[in-house]
Each structure stands twice: as structure tokens, then as C-alpha cells.
Structure 1
Amino acid sequence: MVRVVVSTLPALRPLLRRGSLLNHKPLPRSRLQPWPFCTLSSSPAAGAPSAAVKGEEVALDKHLTRCAAAGIAPLRVAVLVSGGVDSSVALRLLHAAGHRCTAFYLKIWFQEDFRNFWSECPWDEDLKYAQAVCDKIDVPLEVVHLSDEYWNHVVSHMINEYRCGRTPNPDVLCNTRIKFGSFLEAIENLGFDYIASGHYAHVVHPSAENTEAPSVLQLSKDKIKDQTYFLSHLSQSQLRRLLFPLGCITKDEVRRLATQMGLPNQGRKDSQGICFLGKVKFSEFVERHIGEKEGIILEAESGDYLGIHRGFWFYTIGQRQGLRLPGGPWYVVEKDVQNNVVFVSRNYYSLDKRRRTFRVGSLNWFDNCGPGNNEQLKCKVRHSPEFHDCTLVKERSEENGDALVVHLAEDDQGLAAGQFAAFYSENVCLGSGIILDSWDKMSFPVCSRALEIAKLADKSSLGKPIRIVNLEHIVKPEQQEEIKVA
């Protein structure tokens, strides 16, 4: 078993003794205040840095530690480690750059209800690797329990969003509310100059001559792994305190460094999915916290009754897997939240039903004022290397406050209410907002018959589902007309 480190930092001791989860608080905005700015404008020291590893040295080229503030007078850096390769290499790069590092492992697991799924504690292996990496370079490791904070600020919000038929992004919320929110607040008075993590992004801080200027979030050198999308809703006061040592190198270089440094976790695979679920399937998590409620599945174009589902919250727009309907492929195209009805179609990608306009609210800009009206930018509507050219039009309403109408230069079928849209100018991330519910005229066209059936109080009168057969998948073209006539 891994030794859970009892913190020697007084401000963190309360976070090591958590009771039961008592109240699910709404999401607050960060209360963080700007720190005195510690400039990173000094000239790098001559010579390439090296990573000392208990008697052995690993020579590093200058470009590998450029995003780790190499050559600056030693900084005190709190480094978030997960036991994975990325955060481990980030720690080693900061250590090689000569900074005084303390590693922190954030324990956010709360799903004790699922303990029968695990052969051992789900974070036990991660912590073992994190401890082993820290032991190699004599860096202290602190374990901070933030399960309550994670529940209050991320998980409860996710549950409420799914109940409302929206699709939240827990990774964006985790960065904003936990890693660089609750944790940053906990260590605010402990004398750390910066917080660092293994994210693929690059923060450019202002020079000593212009300390009032904002810090800038730039794309990572590795455009495939770039994670600025997940960081796009941070506040300027949070961004100002961050270092991302991997922002100047690629994933391939990270893997090579892990091998070169002899890291014990060099062969570990990258984590996938929502961080707190571990081996628990997402559907099992949803079932546990929201439950099931049987509803019907209707074809959007005809209103035909095709089958039943376990609750609209198990489905998201554009979903194909898990519908279990014959004659597909079928796609979820709309949801009636009030009546618990899921509408599907085989024509999700037809030209007349593609979307390129949507609204965004809950706007967050790193420079406070944001882009101008009708400004042409690029945006991401999901974590991927793909960008859309777009034009932004500002609007204001009593319901949504300040919002944007976003016009894409090309169609995108993956627009889901509750997700984030991040905006970019060249290689700079300007900020982001949350995709709002679409206008009716922009939604997938559901026929009037389907809408009327969805409103039926007693749906048992519908009888048995229609078993639709997709002729193109089963018979030869010359036989299709004969079968239709018969």
C-alpha cells in the first residue's frame, strides 16, 4: 500500500480530513485575487540545463525547458502530478530548470458506492507512480483531498446538466474549479510563485517592464495534444499563476524524455475518459445518480415508434452507439426533456440538416473585453486539433445576458448545448463560452406527428415498436422495388 502523506503545510491539513458529503453547492466564480507578479523575463542562463537524478545526469536541450522558465532565478513551484507520464516529465523539467518544486497529488475520488468494481483503491496505483517519480529527485509529495470540492463544483453540476438535457464538459470545470480553483486557493498563502501541471499549452506572461499586461494562453507546440480548449474558461487571475512545461515540446519528445530519464511510469498509457470514473462505465455512474425512467424513441421525420430507452439523460445529440435499433445506423437528433422522448434519424448528416450557427453564453475572456463585433476568428467546439473559421455577432438578452451568435464557415453536426466553444486568434486562445440551446429554426426538423406523439400522456396506446428494415443493407438494388410493392 502507498503511504498517504500527511501534509506538513498547515493550510492543507483540513483538506486531509474530510467528512461525508453534506451539501451540493452551486458553481461560484473563483474568488482568487491577483498575486504580486513574479516576472519571467530574465535572460536564460548560459549552457544547457540538466536533470539530476541521484548521481546520474540527463542532458537536456534548452528548448525542452523553455516553457519551464529555465534560467530564471529559482522559483517555488507547486506541481500537480497524477502518476502519468505527462505530469511526471513536467515535474522533471521544472526540477532540471533549477526550481524548488513541491509535488501535489489531488485525490478527488468519491465513488465509494462503486468500490466492488475495483480490485484495489482506484487511485492507489497512480499515487505509487507519483511517489516513485518524486523519490527519484527528492521532491516532497503532498496528497490533498478535494473530494467534497469536486462533488460540489463539478459532479453535482454535471448531474444537473444531464437532467436538463445538456452535455457538460467535466474536464473544463475540473481545471477551472478544482486544479486551478480550490487547490490554488488552498495554497494561496504558502509562498509558491507558480502552479504547474502536465497540460499541453503555453502561457506567456508579461515582462517586468509591463506587469499590468495580461498573461496570454497560446497553443501548444503539439497541435494534436493541445489542451487549450480545456483551459479556455480560466480567469486571468488563474492564468497569471500557471506554468505548463510541456507547452514547448511534443508528445513524442515527452515519451523520449520519460525513457531518457528512466521514469518508472515511462510505459504507462495515457488516461482516457472522465477522470473520476476510473473503471466505472459512464452509464453506471448516470444510473446511480439520476436513475432510470423508461421513455420512447421516435423517428424524427415520420413519428414512427421505434423502441424504448432508459432515460433521455443517457443520450447526447449525434450519438450513434447504444440505440440498439434495426435498420440503422441511427443517430440521436433531438430530445424532448419534458416528455422524456428521444428522436432519432438515419439522415443526421444530410445536407439540408447540417448546422453552422449557434449561440454562446457565460462568456469568459482573458483580456476582459473580448473580441469585437463581427470579428472573424477561429473556434473549437470540442477537444480536437480541428478549428472552424467563424464570425461573432454580439447580442444581449434578459435571459442569457451577454451572448454571441457564432456563424461557422462550414457545417458541424456535433454542436451540443452545455459544451464549451473556445475562440482563437492565430495561435492565441482568447477565451470561451458555453453553447446555449439552439433556436428552433436551427434544430433538427422533427415532424408535427412526432411532436404530437411525444406529448401523449398515455403512450401504451402506441402498441409495439415498428421494426424498420433498411433495404439497402439487406437486398440487392433490383429486388428493392419488388419488396416495397409486396
Structure 2
Amino acid sequence: MKRVVVGLSGGVDSSVAAYLLKEQGYEVIGLFMKNWHDDSVTISNECPWLEDSNDALLVAEKLGIPFQTVDLSEQYKEKIVDYMFHEYEQGRTPNPDVLCNREIKFDVFMKIALSLGADYVATGHYCRRGIIEENGKEIYQLLAGKDGNKDQSYFLCQLSQEQLAKALFPIGELTKPEVREIASQLDLITAEKKDSQGLCFIGKVRLPEFLQQKLQPKEGIIVEIPADAPIYSEEKPNFSSEEEAFAHEARRINYLQVPGKVVGKHQGAHYFTKGQRKGLNVGGTKEALFVIETDVDKNIIYTGQGNNHPGLFKKALFIKNDEVHWIREDLALKVGEKMGVMARIRYRQPLQKATLHQFETGMYVVFNEPQSAITEGQFVAWHKDDEILGSGVIT
């Protein structure tokens, strides 16, 4: 009997994952990760970890599997929360869920599971693992979940071959309604429980308040850039190489040189992100204002009217070499190579046609169509059919 440690989160997905593994004949152990008890960073009172751990315990009792709680709050603070603050401070927008999977669930948590003699770690993610053989060597694939509505493979886009070798995703072949139906039939306490919103294992966070605990408010101006600003219709220079042309497409526009008008004030450019519409508190414009750029050094937010404002769109993005991550290491590009892929720059975005170009300095992802709100610090993931081949942090 192979031993599997399931990350029981107190939700319906991991509950059913544990049940399915038991049915398949594995020896199953339930482990709840406690990732938060830092009162210096107050979070809205809906921090449900106590209730969640209690639900996880009741599910384990019902399924007749051993259960314990592990406290990973120290590692979580260091690897996720501190990183988040640092990224926001630099004017970037991190994705804590992707990081949590790479650094906590499939690293710190996985090591604990393996120390308990586990052969595998399982989670309630809607994704699938494939195994193919090449030259006598097993290669692991990360595949989209069967439920297109719930597919969570994007959040696992930073996993490695070593991590996938030890990972199981029991509900990847099911849809959410099927998972709820199984939980109902088993009369599990989590059957009707709402999906958790917010930070991986922390619960609901109102981001500006969360950030204000560590990043001090600092009043600055909100500038509106007109859609017909000359910068958007300038003729492109002649480039001596493809790399130069892509760099031009991916560049940040220096709005200090662009005439705009001051339309309001804000409490800190580091609280805002590209494409954001809420929280600007500026009225009197014909269309809603969207953040098109933030400048944390000068503490200025640049905005434009409407979600079709040209300042929101770019055709290319850049990933530094040390941030390029291939799940399929066997397909990694060498300098000078390119590859046609489908890519997305955020969870739930429909996949977009793009080409990867690998240069000495890093990789450009060049889209067929301009993309809205490409945001530094977020992850771009690239696919062939329903397999994620790799990902990278947008620079």
C-alpha cells in the first residue's frame, strides 16, 4: 500500500480527494496546514482557519483516516507574506497563490509528508498529472483539469519535475458539481461549504488594509493621460534586431514626459496595480478610470478612461533568465530558438496565441493580439493543448 498525505484544507475539494484515494486503496493521512497567526498584520475577522481545521478534522474522522495539524505560519510569513510586501513596495503585483504552491504546499509541506513516510502528496486542485516516457525516462506532465470552469493548473505553473513526481490530483477528472455530489452522498460537513476566497490558506484579505500594516500611506497624485496622447501614435523606430523590436513592445512608457492632467490624490502608488478600476475615488469622468501605470519612485498613478485605453495594451512581455521556468525541461528553448504556444497572463484569462523567443538575456513572450494590463510580478504560463509547459515572472 502506498502512503499518501492529503492537504486537508477544510474545503469540499480536498475532502473528496482524500475519499477517492482511500477508495483507490492508498493508505491516507490527512494534514491541515496552519499558515497564519500573526496579529501584527490584522486581517478581516473572516480568518476562518479555526473553523477550517475543525471541518478538516471532522472529515478525517468520517473517512476513518489519521489527522494532524502542522504549523507552517513561520515559513508562510517568510516565503509568501514578506515577499508580497517587498514586491508591492517595488511597484510589482505578486501572485501569492502560485508562490504558495511552489514554496509551501509542494516544498515545506511535501518535505513534512515525505518525513512521515509518504510516497505522494495529494491536494484538491482541479488539474491532472500525466506521465510519458522518453528514452526510458519518465516525464511528468501538468494537465488542465477536466472542469474548464474550475481548472486550476495555472496556480501550479511553477512546479518542477521533482515536485510533480510526488504529486497526486485525485479530483482532476471531475467537475465541481460531481465533487459536491460525492460529498453529499458521503454526508461530509464540507459538502455545501462555499469555496474559500482570498489568500491561499489565510482567508479573506482586504489588500489595501493588509498592505498598510507594513507599507506606510504616502499621499501622491493621480494623473489622467488622454487616449489620443501623441505617445500612442508615434511611428516605430527602425530596429536592428528582433530583440530590440520586442524590447520596444514590452517597455514601460515614461509618462513623466507625456502631458496629462491631475484628477485626484491617492494614499500610495504601491497599493495600486495595472488595470485596477476600484479604489481610485475620482468622479466626473465620462468613462471609468483605469490604472495604466504606477510609478512608486515618484509616487504617481497614471490612469486612462475606459477599458480600451491604449495605455492598457501591450503585445510583448519580458522574463529574465532566472525567472524562466520549464515544467517540461526537455522542451526548454536554447538561445536563438522560438516556439508557438498558447499563453495566459492571469488565472481564468482565455488562452492567447503567442510566440516564445529565447535570447541571451531572457525570454520575450510576443502575443498575436495586444493584451490588457500585463502586470510586473504576475506569472505568464504557456501551454500546448491542455498541458502547461512552463511559466515565468513578468519583468
Does the pair score TM above 0.5? yes
Q: In the aligned structure 1, how far is the partner of 2:376 from the partner of 2:143? A: 26
Q: How does 1:278-289 map to 2 (within 5 A)?
A: 278-289=203-214
Q: In the aligned structure 2, how far is the partner of 1:410 from the partner of 1:88? A: 41
Structure-2 change in CA distance of 1:408 and 1:324 (3 Å): same
Q: In the aligned structure 2, how far is the partner of 1:360 from the partner of 1:204? A: 27
Residue of structure 2 aligned with 1:337, choices 282, 296, 303: 296
Q: In the aligned structure 2, how far is the partner of 1:298 from the partner of 1:385? A: 28
Structure-2 change in CA distance of 1:108 and 1:331 (3 Å): same
Residue of structure 2 aligned with 1:113, choices 22, 29, 40: 40
Give SS of 1:360's match.
strand
Give SS of 1:356's match.
strand
Q: How does 1:36-435 map to 2 (within 5 A)?
A: 74-113=1-40, 117-118=44-45, 122-206=48-132, 212-301=137-226, 302-328=259-285, 329-350=288-309, 354-361=313-320, 362-372=323-333, 373-384=337-348, 386-397=350-361, 403-435=362-394
Q: In the aligned structure 1, how far is the partner of 2:364 from the partner of 2:311? A: 21
- Does the Cα contact within 8 Å between 2:292 and 2:311 map onto a contact in 1? no
Structure-2 change in CA distance of 1:410 and 1:197 (3 Å): same
- Does the Cα contact within 8 Å between 2:292 and 2:373 map onto a contact in 1? no
Q: In the aligned structure 2, how far is the partner of 1:327 from the partner of 1:151? A: 41
Give CA-to-partner distance per residue, 1:263-297, whole Å, 9 cap, x none: 11111110112135434421111000112111111
- Does the Cα contact within 8 Å between 2:60 and 2:67 map onto a contact in 1? yes
Q: In the aligned structure 2, how far is the partner of 1:353 from the partner of 1:158? A: 23
Give the aligned partner of residue 14 of structure 1: none
Structure-2 change in CA distance of 1:385 and 1:201 (3 Å): farther
- Which has the bigger relative contact order, CA under 8 A and spacing at least 6? 2
Gapped regions of structure 2 (runs ≥ 5) = 227-258
Q: In the aligned structure 1, how far is the partner of 2:68 from the partner of 2:315? A: 47
Give the aligned partner of residue 467 of structure 1: none
Q: In the aligned structure 2, how far is the partner of 1:210 from the partner of 1:240? A: 17
TM-score by length of structure 2 reads 0.85
The CA deviation at 1:298 is: 1.1
The letter for the 2-side match of 1:195 is: V
Structure-2 change in CA distance of 1:232 and 1:84 (3 Å): same
Structure-2 change in CA distance of 1:189 and 1:295 (3 Å): same
The CA deviation at 1:311 is: 0.5
The letter for the 1-side match of 2:308 is: Y
Gapped regions of structure 1 (runs ≥ 5) = 1-73, 398-402, 437-486
- Structure 1 runs, 4 residues or longer, greater than 6 Å off: none
Q: In the aligned structure 2, how far is the partner of 1:315 from the partner of 1:396? A: 32
Q: In the aligned structure 1, how far is the partner of 2:326 from the partner of 2:308? A: 33
Structure-2 change in CA distance of 1:156 and 1:304 (3 Å): same
Give SS of 1:247's match.
coil
Structure-2 change in CA distance of 1:168 and 1:260 (3 Å): same
Which has the higher Rg, Structure 1 or Structure 2? 1
Give SS of 2:116's match.
coil
% identity of equivalent residues? 38
The letter for the 2-side match of 1:199 is: H
Structure-2 change in CA distance of 1:353 and 1:281 (3 Å): closer
Task: Please state which structure has a larger fraction of its residues in strand.
Answer: 2
Q: In the aligned structure 1, how far is the partner of 2:188 from the partner of 2:155? A: 27
Give SS of 2:381's match.
strand
Q: In the aligned structure 2, how far is the partner of 1:344 from the partner of 1:115? A: 30
Give SS of 1:118's match.
coil
